[in-house]
Structure 1
Amino acid sequence: MDRLPSADEFKAELASRDEKIREGWIKTMEARIVREELQKCHKAEGVNHYSACADLAKTYHSLLLDAKVKGFREIELA
């Protein structure tokens, strides 16, 4: 039989969960801000947006790789 966690362990676990979710939201919001700037650049530059906005596009692409908000539970489906 599993033992119940103490109050301090439970508080630490909740703080850890909150921190993980907060970090996920920060990454997502950062990607959103870069996307909005990329859209502004595309609109302002017109046909030259491929060369003028390339650095923003690369930044946005790299942020998309890990900008997903995940919960604190890991579910195994096998």
Structure 2
Amino acid sequence: MSTVQDATKELYRKRIEAREDHIRESWVKAMEVQLVREELEKCRKGEGPNALENCKWLAEKYSQMLQDNKLKGYKIIET
């Protein structure tokens, strides 16, 4: 009986670790997006009228990161 309980505890521990890893990675990606946004704002303020031309690459990177790095929940519910 104790081996079944040990196996259940181990499975539960692995699930918790996987969930925490997923959440940590998700927040790291969200913070990366925030840093790029802040750099884009600095670039726009610093470049003035030339910002559209000189900061285009940063704006494109920010736009792509917004699409790719969305926060997602751990549970996947199939409908």
TM-score range, shorter chain: 0.7 to 0.9
Using structure 2 for the length normalisation, give the TM-score. 0.83
Match of 1:49 among 43, 48, 51: 51
CA distance in 1, matches of 2:8, 2:68: 33
- Residue 51 of structure 1: how far off its partner (Å): 1.1
CA distance in 2, matches of 1:57, 1:67: 15
Helix, strand or coil for the counterpart of 1:42? helix
- Residue 54 of structure 1: how far off its partner (Å): 1.1
Match of 1:9 in 2: 11
CA distance in 1, matches of 2:53, 2:17: 44
CA deviations over 1:10-45 (Å, ceiling 9, x no partner): 110111111111111111100000000000100111
Aligned residues between the structures = 75
Gaps of 5+ in 1: none
CA distance in 2, matches of 1:15, 1:34: 29
Contact 1:38 1:56 in 2 (8 A): yes
Using structure 1 for the length normalisation, give the TM-score. 0.84
Counterparts of 1:31-46 in structure 2, within 5 Å, are: 31-46=33-48
Bigger radius of gyration: 2
- RMSD over equivalenced CA pairs, Å: 1.8
Gaps of 5+ in 2: none
Identity of aligned residues (%): 41
- Residue 67 of structure 1: how far off its partner (Å): 2.1
- Residue 68 of structure 1: how far off its partner (Å): 1.9
